Amino acid sequence: MGTFPTPRERIRTRLDSETGRIDRDAPRRAALLYPSPYSVAMSSLGYQTAYRIFQGRSDWCCERVFLPDEAVDSAEIAERPVSYESERPLGDFPLIAVSVAYELEIAGLAHCLEAGGIPALAEERSDEHPLLIAGGPLTFSNPYPLLPFVDVLVFGEADELLSQILDAASEEPSRQRLLERLAQHPSIVVPSLQPEKRGEIAKAEDHLLPARSTIITPHTELSGMFLIEAERGCSRSCQYCVMRRSTNGGMRLVQAPHLLELIPAEHKRVGLVGAAVSDHPRIVEIVTALVDRECHVGVSSLRPDRLTQPLVEALSKGGYRTLTTALDGPSQRLRDQIERRGREEHYLRAASLAREYGMDRLKLYLMIGLPGETEQDIDECAAFVAGLSKTIPIALGISPFCAKRNTPLDRQPYAGITRVQKRLERLRKGLRGRGEVRATSARWSWVEHVLAQGGPAEGRAVYAAWRAGARFSDYRREFEKLGASPNGDGYESSFIAPPVVTRKLPVTKG
């Protein structure tokens, strides 16, 4: 019988497999923390961008720290997080920069801190503990449940802000003076000084785009793939999406020649990343150019109305075997209601093109539990997907709808765990095996919903649930104390989130 690798052996194996790592020293050293496992973190372009910023300075460098793999399924602290570069404990660093992508990672942050010997709640820490600075994609919607845990919260795109923060940290020997200085920036909130402040979502200068991979590793789901933004933001107005066209000025394109020249010739697996990559006006040209380099190409967001014959043909030549797009709503009525452009003819065309170009299946992402959804909408979905399956095998990836702040559907209630589960059963029954159905947990989606609508009190409830064992029953107990119900009655948090402001911010120092 084989033996499982120890945490230290796993770290060494992963380090040996990396290319592009920047090993360097500097007078000041920070921990760059991601509150999910290594395989998730190293697929994050925001995390990789922060790494490049740290390692490009003369006064600061960073070491990477991740949520231990074992912590995903247990709140017990069996493995203490240490840095990959030197295996230092998290508490040895004077500064911790953490990127948080979505609500359920808040528990991972608490785990990393306490497992690292650092009190998770900021109020229990002293000047002897590391300064914790948090940012990431969650700050575009509702990061306020993070407030109990962080010393500094950065809103929006940190491509410029991180450098400004590090400048200030180098120049201010006093922790209090540093916090006071950072608090002056409109996109930075210091909870201990400004508990009521709203953060303005920062927008990086266009010349700093695109974000792209620095370290390439085979130990991610996108094994060995060089990732690069083809665009940032979106020009569409989908009612549920945080990155809709009203956020940070909509879509910003990376010009095709610039994008292609930034992709090293030695990388033969390339992923094009963005909220709406297939909306890039030169996407076919970009994919074709990469195929001509003999690259395997991945595209993160294919919109159904953009799946034309030239694009699908190019994707097929780039190695696509599964064509993936979003169905979103189970019926055309609901797709129209949430302002999705996908229509039945687009999916029929996609299925035919996927089959014509030798793909194995068509994968469709779907939300259920949308406002106003009925059983008839589910039945329409089952019938339509069953019809598509006559052309090509269909796989459905289903997520319950969770209303997000900074979207038109903010404050819409969660459909309810029982109702979501019944809708899933009805869909499976209607398909009668003519489509593969994989769904995220209705219970954990409710937890996400409560946090997406909540504030500091909900953040503290996460901490209490994590300490109790991080089981769903622990979250339910703590959230019910705040008045939340998993039965779909809606949830009105006692926290009233400040309105989100987005504008282009000037580069300032101090």
For residue 430, is pLDDT > 80? yes
Q: What count of other Cβ atoms lies within 10 Å of the Cβ of residue 49?
A: 23
For residue 509, is pLDDT > 50? no
Tell me how far CA of residue 42 lies from CA of 83, 199, 280, 433, in angstroms.
14, 27, 25, 36
For residue 49, is pLDDT > 80? yes
How close are the terminal C-alpha atoms of the chain, in Å? 59
For residue 507, is pLDDT > 60? no
C-alpha–C-alpha distance, residues 364 and 323, integer Å? 9
pLDDT of residue 496: 66
pLDDT of residue 489: 62
For residue 168, is pLDDT > 50? yes
pTM across the whole model? 0.93
For residue 510, is pLDDT > 70? no
Band of pLDDT at residue 75, cut at 50, 70 and 90: low
* CATH topology classification for 7-204: Rossmann fold (3.40.50)
For residue 83, is pLDDT > 90? yes
For residue 234, is pLDDT > 70? yes
CA dihedral 442, 445, 447, 450 (to 10 degrees): -120
Tell me how far CA of residue 193 lies from CA of 161, 181, 232, 242, 485, in angstroms.
19, 11, 32, 28, 33
- Counting residues of the chain whose pLDDT is more than 90, the rounded percentage is 86
C-alpha–C-alpha distance, residues 338 and 265, integer Å? 41
Q: Residue 98's beta-bridge partner residues? A: 33, 134
Give the H/E segment covering residue 376.
helix 375-388
Q: For the residues 78-87, what does the mean pLDDT come to?
A: 90
Among 290, 295, 380, 300, which Cα is nearest to 334's? 380
pLDDT of residue 249: 81
Q: For the residues 224-228, what does the mean pLDDT come to?
A: 96
For residue 74, is pLDDT > 70? no
For residue 436, is pLDDT > 60? yes
264 prior amide bond cis, ω within 30: no
C-alpha–C-alpha distance, residues 411 and 404, integer Å? 8
Residue 77: is it exposed, middle or buried by C-beta count within 10 angstroms (0-12/13-18/19+)? Answer: middle
Q: For the residues 231-235, what does the mean pLDDT come to?
A: 92
Q: Which residue has the higher pLDDT, 125 or 505?
A: 125
pLDDT of residue 222: 87
Per this entry, what is the length of the chain?
Answer: 510
Q: What does the pLDDT look like over 54-67, one tens digit per residue?
A: 999 999 999 999 99
Q: Which residue has the higher pLDDT, 78 or 243?
A: 243
Tell me how far CA of residue 7 lies from CA of 12, 63, 83, in angstroms.
9, 17, 11
pLDDT of residue 508: 35
Cβ-contact 374, 330 below 8 angstroms: no
For residue 87, is pLDDT > 60? yes
For residue 175, is pLDDT > 50? yes
Q: What count of other Cβ atoms lies within 10 Å of the Cβ of residue 420?
A: 27
Among 375, 490, 370, 383, which Cα is nearest to 423's? 375
- Counting residues of the chain whose pLDDT is more than 70, the rounded percentage is 94
Band of pLDDT at residue 2, cut at 50, 70 and 90: low
For residue 260, is pLDDT > 60? yes
Cβ-contact 51, 215 below 8 angstroms: yes
Residue 5: is it exposed, middle or buried by C-beta count within 10 angstroms (0-12/13-18/19+)? Answer: exposed
State the amino acid at position 275 in one-letter form.
Answer: A
pLDDT of residue 187: 96
- Average pLDDT for the chain: 93
Among 493, 455, 501, which Cα is nearest to 106's? 455
pLDDT of residue 464: 98
For residue 71, is pLDDT > 80? no
| Domain boundaries, given as residue ranges, for the chain | 7-204
Q: What does the pLDDT look like over 486-496, one tens digit per residue?
A: 986 667 777 76
Beta strands in 130-266 (DSSP E): 131-135, 152-154, 188-189, 200-201, 226-229, 231-232, 252-253
Q: What does the pLDDT look like over 125-159, one tens digit per residue?
A: 999 999 999 999 999 999 999 999 999 999 999 99
pLDDT of residue 195: 86
